Amino acid sequence: MKIKKRYSFTACIALSAVIAFGGLQWGIPSVHAANVFSDDFESGSAGNWTSTTGTWSVVKDGSSYVYYQSGSSEGRTSAGSGSWTDYSVKADVKIDNFNGTNRTYVCGRYKDGNNYYAASISNSNGGTLEIRKKFGGESTTLATKTGFSITTGTVYNIRLELAGDSISMYVNNVLQLNAHDNILSSGGVGLIAYKTAAKFDNVIVSDTTAAPTSTPTATTAPTSSPTAAPTPTATPSATATTAPTPAPTAVPTATPVSGALYVAANGAAGNAGTIGSPTTLQSALTRIAAGGTIYLRGGTYSFSSPVTIERDNSGTASARKTIVAYGSEKPVFDFSAQAFASSERGLQIFGHYWHVKGLEVKGAGDNGIFIGGNYNIIENIEAHHNRDSGLQISRYASSAASMSEWPSYNQIIGVYSHDNFDPDNGEDADGFAAKLTIGPGNVFDKCVAAWNTDDGWDLYTKTDTGPIGVVTIKNSIAYKNGQTSDGNSTSNSDGNGFKLGGESISVNHIVTNSVAFQNKKHGFTYNSNPGSIKMTNNTSWSNGGSNFAFDAGTHVFTNNLSFAGSSSDKTSGTDVSSTNVWWKNNASTNAKGLVASSADFVSLTPSVIRNADGSLSLGNFLKLASGSDLIGSGTPAGTNIGATIQ
């Protein structure tokens, strides 16, 4: 039987750069027409689609044709244009077999199988609807609803609407879920049957009728140079407040979003938590259910005491609790009312499975953000001008003695931590501290630490607590640490870019595709960690000590690049396939004769750009110049020497 347009399901739909019509290729601009793409498969062909996995075919369903994924493994197919931005995609979907409790997706802004937004249906928990994001191969649930009956043999009409950072899912023309995320701005459409046997029909891509919320534009992080310091982003003020920004016009207001609470700087604890009657953050934290989202309106939230997510306040693996900036608005948590030399922190996350995104945190008496729970995601945050480290991961209480209670598997993504200043001895205010009492699986990705009075990253260990879990740092930058951007420092400020140990305790940390430059002391240092730190494709330039300081240990070095350090590199360990270019005795050296010079770089003028979504670029700074013999000289064959953050 033909799948009629009685129901719609937002499937993962990926679009190519062009679509072929009648043998001609037509460029597809950003969506402006009412309908920009449709396919009912009545031609008996899926010529508009490109399948990459699974078993896809056009088959008869009753008297009409549908697009069928019949395999039990994951099936992905895509169509359309990667330039599409704001649009809705709808499809009729019928599940023949869930093969257990698996999902079927309709996706928008689909770039490839590792990057897309999706409307998902499954038969788990009595039927589950989800808005999901996959970015860089990692999946995140943005919104969820359980108890929505989903059965085999039934046609569901699903619509996924994308407008700016607003993502909405409709089933049977009824709004079911809404989420906000802006990490993916464009892409085509795709259909995904994740281990299900599923039929799709009547796929239509249309212009969104409402104007989208404004998308944040790229902003530039403080740019360093040997002679000039950047202007600090902000100076904490105990009295300054900002009225909430007016609501963007494109956000649906007629239908409340299930599982959402809205918070504003002028909200009241007794309010309902709707967009028209916002509540306070403290009230929302006690009321939000697993899978729910707290939307923070723009403005300055002034706090005189820590904001704490308690240990018993947690989401789940399939239903996180989320705190996120509303649309493109900017919520600022200002803790400047705390005594600056006090032990009072800013935002404390002791619970598990939280996702916090899009905030600014400043002025805390101690740490700006402190994480003591597990499986949390901290994304696109700016932490600055705090008394201790901008962000620290350590056990939530001194009584949490065993490693099983130490914070584990937290992801810190796209966080910028700068100008944190310790006025006492200069040895506490790091950009990021993952030290003393942390468990396994903690990851830093696409983060920047700059102008902190102590180190960019501090992974210190102590003999009285023993080894910590392995920390992974990737795609990250540390520069100008050892003093603040306005010149504050102390005689005890260390000023390392990446400090990877302490007190001669072995922990095999992992540092990949990261950059250190112009730090007061070393770029990357083992700091007495005698283990086997894995250092791969990192670049270190013009630091005050050694670019790489690994005096002892069995460390593993692959494709690292050092240039123009003040002291010779120390490189105890394995030089994998002779792929590391070191700086020793004021000269470039490599075991197989590669030599780095200023001509190997497009530019040695420092530039760090942090985009609105938290992504990073160095522009031409430290980029290998065309013709450099460092290009393709690494391992595996064809891999460049050094980091690539472009």
Active site residues: 499
Q: Which long-range contacts (CB under 8 A, 24 or more apart) does 214-217 make?
A: 214/164, 214/248, 214/327, 214/328, 215/164, 215/165, 215/182, 215/185, 215/328, 215/612, 216/182, 216/328, 216/612, 216/613, 217/612
How far is it between the farthest Cα atoms of the chain? 82
Assess contact for 475 and 616: CB atoms under 8 A. Answer: yes
Cβ-in-10-Å burial (0-12, 13-18, 19+) of 40 comes to middle
Name the residue type at position 588. S
| The two three-digit tokens of residue 400, written as one number | 């949490």
- Decide if 592 contacts 569 (C-beta within 8 A): no
> Do residues 2 and 61 make contact, with C-beta atoms less than 8 angstroms apart?
yes
Strand partners, 199: 68, 94
Of 181, 23, 33, 53, nearest to 108 (Cα)?
181
Count the Cβ atoms, other than its own, within 10 Å of residue 283.
18
Those residues whose C-beta lies under 8 Å from the C-beta of residue 559, and which sit 6 or more positions away, are 536, 537, 576, 579, 580, 634, 635, 639, 640, 641, 642
Contact 410, 416 (CB under 8 A): no
> In which residue are the tokens 């009072």 written?
344
The secondary structure element, H or E, covering residue 285 is helix 281-287
3-state secondary structure of 510: strand
The sign of the dihedral angle between the CA atoms of 344, 370, 292, 90 is: positive
Residue 107 and residue 169: Cα distance in Å, rounded?
A: 11
Phi and psi at 220, nearest 5°, equal -105, 130
Q: Cβ distance 574 to 555 under 8 Å?
A: yes
- Do the Cβ atoms of 3 and 58 come closer than 8 Å? no
Token look-up 């003093």 returns: 483
Which of 164, 127, 163 shows the shortest CA–CA distance to 144? 127
Closest CA to 212 of 149, 165, 168: 165
Token match 């400047």: residue?
336
The span from the CA of 585 to the CA of 278, in Å, is 62
Pairing of strands 155-163, 87-97: antiparallel
CA 608/CA 218 separation, integer angstroms: 12
Q: SS3 for 136?
A: coil
Residue with tokens 């260390």: 494
